[in-house]
Amino acid sequence: METGKLPCSVLEKLIFSKIKKVHDEILISPGIGLDCSAIDFGEYACVLSCDPITGTAKEIGRLAVHINCNDIASAGVLPLGLLAVILCPEDSTEEELDAIMEQFTEAARSVNVDILGGHTEITGAVNRFVISCTAVGKCLKDKIISASGAKNGDSLVITKHAGLEGASIIAHEKEEELVPVLGRQTVEETKSFMNSISVVKDGITAAKFGVNAMHDVTEGGVLGAVWELCEASGTGAEVFLDKIPIHMATRKICEYYKIDPYRLISSGCMLISAADGEGLVSRLKQEGIDAAVIGKLDDSGRRLMLRDGRAEEIVPPASDELYKIL
């Protein structure tokens, strides 16, 4: 199997096929494209999600917070707290752990979440630091937004720009190689994308406006996220590649490494399905969040991307473009 998250077909065959719902209180069970689970607690629901950081050794404390809180925000819910498991390699130092915790606590403060607990250990099972977190949120149970709620005729909107996270990770990991090629200014600008990884504000703004579905854009990039949202909702889609915003610095990095920015890990982008896409874009921009309508959902059952007047099938997400480099 390739590095990265499991292909959807393998996920269905080996994982989801073995999971059976036991309790009626479970409102959202695991599924393709679903970022969160949810549990009924009467008037309110508890929304949960978990993710590890394995694709980079840089900025992992910051990423661990935002990647997990972003999943909660994709349900239109403010995250409340985090549980973290930190696995330290046997040759790690107290200074390295201290730096990770500085990142972790700073990021938690930036999105106003509590650190609820977890576990930390030194182990020979890893050769670099690995963090896995569980994020928790709370909302009125009839207000949860799911990736399965998208409707035919909805506009597809993304916030910020494609490849945001992947480009920043590459700039951090390959800084010495990239500076002579792209220049110090471009590399530093791309590294700073890490400051835009959170989509908590994006998700809450969209939820207040009124949308049908949201999906946090992670491994597999924007096109992978479109396929997953369509799979969760049972819809088709047409996506216009020239409408997907890509920062010039991201384009330069992707051209240099010959990777596809549309399939590059993109935390910091939220994919949103809304009846009034242009109205949503206007509202997001009022809140200082860049956004664009990139396509439309339909009942064709096909997921198409349109490039240079040609239609191509959007295939299920495979190993992320990031892993071709790192």
CA pair distance 147, 123, nearest whole angstrom: 37
E runs forming strands in the chain: 26-28, 37-41, 44-53, 79-88, 114-122, 130-140, 155-159, 213-216, 236-240, 270-274, 291-298, 303-307, 310-313
pLDDT at 57: 82
Q: Is 90 exceeded by the pLDDT of residue 309?
A: no
Regarding predicted confidence, which is higher, 308 or 23?
23
Q: Is 90 exceeded by the pLDDT of residue 222?
A: yes
Regarding predicted confidence, which is higher, 98 or 55?
98
β-pair partners for 270? 216
316: exposed, middle or buried (Cβ count in 10 Å: 0-12, 13-18, 19+): middle
pLDDT at 136: 98
pLDDT at 178: 97
CA pair distance 65, 110, nearest whole angstrom: 10
Token pair 């992992």 is at which residue? 60
98: exposed, middle or buried (Cβ count in 10 Å: 0-12, 13-18, 19+): exposed
β-pair partners for 239? 295, 305
pLDDT at 270: 98
pLDDT tens sequence across 157-181 = 999 999 999 999 999 999 999 999 9
Q: Where are the alpha helices (DSSP H) in 54-163?
A: 60-73, 94-110
With cut-offs at 50, 70 and 90, classify the pLDDT of residue 1: confident
pLDDT tens sequence across 19-67 = 999 999 999 999 999 999 999 999 999 999 999 998 788 899 999 999 9
> Are the C-beta atoms of residues 246 and 161 closer than 8 Å to each other?
yes
Q: Is 90 exceeded by the pLDDT of residue 4?
A: no
Average pLDDT of the residues in 110-128: 97
pLDDT at 214: 98
* Topology of the domain comprising 8-143: 60s Ribosomal Protein L30; Chain: A; (3.30.1330)
Q: Is 34 left (phi over 0), alpha (psi -120 to 50) or beta?
A: beta
What percent of the chain is predicted at pLDDT more than 70?
100
Tokens of 12: 């269905």
Give the phi and the psi of residue 229 in degrees, each rounded to 5: -65, -40
pLDDT tens sequence across 227-263 = 999 999 999 999 999 999 999 999 999 999 999 999 9
pLDDT at 45: 98
> Domain residues of the chain, as ranges?
8-143, 147-324
CATH of 147-324 given 1.20.1250.20, 3.90.650.10, 3.40.50.720, 3.30.70.1230: 3.90.650.10
With cut-offs at 50, 70 and 90, classify the pLDDT of residue 308: confident
pLDDT at 266: 97
State which amino acid sits at residue 221: G
Average pLDDT of the residues in 85-93: 97
β-pair partners for 53? 131
> Are the C-beta atoms of residues 241 and 307 closer than 8 Å to each other?
yes
As a whole number, the mean pLDDT across the chain is: 96
